Amino acid sequence: MYTFTSHYIDGRWTAAGKERIAVFDPATEERIGEVPAGTSADADAAVAAATRAFPAWSALPHAERAALLERLTDLLINRRERLAAALVAEVGSPASFTAAVQVGLPLVTFGSQPGLLGAVAWRSEVGHSVVVREAAGVVVAITPWNYPLHQIAAKVAPALAVGCTVVLKPSEVAPVNAFLLAEAIEEAGFPPGVFNLVCGTGTQVGERLVAHPGVDVVSFTGSTAAGRRIGALAAATVKQVHLELGGKSPSVLLHDADLPTAVADGLAKAFVNSGQTCTALSRMIVPRSRLAEAEEIAAAAVVNHRLVDPAAETEGLRPVVLADRLGHIAFTFALGPLVSAAQRERVTRYVREGLREGARLVAGGPERPEEFERGHYVRPTVFSDTAPDMTIVREEIFGPVLCLQAYEGEDEAVALANGTPYGLCAAVWSADTDRATAVAGRLRAGQVEINGARFNPFAPFGGYKQSGHGRELGLWGLETFLQTKSLQLP
């Protein structure tokens, strides 16, 4: 059992009230732990601690902050097996995927911050002015359950690196990893109040933090609906808000694309983490003349995406190599359960809605997989004959559901790709890389993969339209937490 009874505030574990939030294993549906249910008073205490700590922390030499982050990275590397076990249990990601991505990617982010600090233009001259970059202040980080430690790292690591202090509110669905991180931060020796952890619901803790007048920056990852609410609450105090929200990302297969490779790659990226991925390529836009071929390939490839017990799965990796000191990132063809009963019901409801609206089922369906009597499993599903106005085409499902869309000409393909309220990610496939790149330039999305290119954790990450605003990761992730000041000299 993972049992935590205290929040981490002002450099110490602070006893919370008697209310607890239960944590469940999505594969077994068994209770595996509990964390404290925070209150508005806990949120206030965390913000007060961060406010007191900010002047000294922001004034600390960059090298000293970098040294603490390096020590933290080493401690997390030493804890990677414990972190992975907790994430398998609370999220349900297969063990191999968890080790490589759910833990490996956050380690890359934490480990990269000291080097990135040297790339910031902290001081520059413009005529008779000196332009200074400095820490923005107290940061509230509100993170989701699908890649919980990765999203924490994308916010907490750069904010701490540049001199901000942080209050973290992790998802109450998958909070254990955040408490393990807090233990490592305490052991690393960060000063009191620099990092604070308060768990709780969005209404009880999250909204209080967002509206708090002592908070300078809110960084949120989650649903578009929640992002709208956060933006409205934060507007009252005119604080900075960075939003990384939903997606309905298209993969555009041009007429000359290598269809077997492109369809297999698109299917894998639609189903990654059981489709619980904001960048999932959940729409595949295919030439009408090759639609039947794409359907056949997709139907055959779905069987490679097997449902597994996440704690037992250790094989099935397709490596995607990153040039870093912490090892390779990899994606897996194995699929675990969805994170909760509510999430399973949401996804199966969308599948039924697709059938009701007239989409044709190529593979999968809403029925429970026969091989799993318990756990929040759903069948990986592919639809064809979908129309642009269908619910399953326009709304983020957040499960392993792929929609095939047919087009005649390149202009129609681009229009279909841009035809949802989202703009987080996209992909283009063509035998001609220059042609694919030209089409990518017409897509309204924050990241576009060309011919299956791998994810880059040092490139800017963020969306257009209702996928949010602001950027995370790499140098851009650091600059998100900086203010710019100009000093006019005589």
| 12-15 β-sheet, strand order | 12-15, 6-9, 195-197, 165-169, 138-142, 217-221, 240-244, 468-469
Task: Give me the active site residues, please.
Answer: 244, 278
Residue tagged 């068994």 (tokens): 30
Dist CA 8 CA 325 (whole Å):
30
Task: Provide the strand spans (E) within 79-164.
Answer: 123-126, 129-135, 138-142
Residue tagged 């609450």 (tokens): 233
Of 263, 259, 258, 281, the residue nearest 271 (C-alpha)? 281
Dist CA 91 CA 471 (whole Å):
25
Sign of the dihedral defined by the CA atoms of residues 467, 37, 99, 325, in that order: positive
Token pair recorded at residue 167: 């209050």
- 375's CB contacts (< 8 A; 6+ apart) are 26, 27, 28, 29, 92, 337
What phi-psi label fits residue 482: left (phi over 0), alpha (psi between -120 and 50 degrees) or beta?
A: beta
| Exposure on the CB side of residue 282, measured as CA atoms within 13 A | 31
Main-chain dihedrals φ then ψ at residue 102, nearest 5 degrees = -60, -30
- 90's CB contacts (< 8 A; 6+ apart) are 2, 23, 24, 25, 26, 32, 33, 148, 173, 174, 175, 176, 177
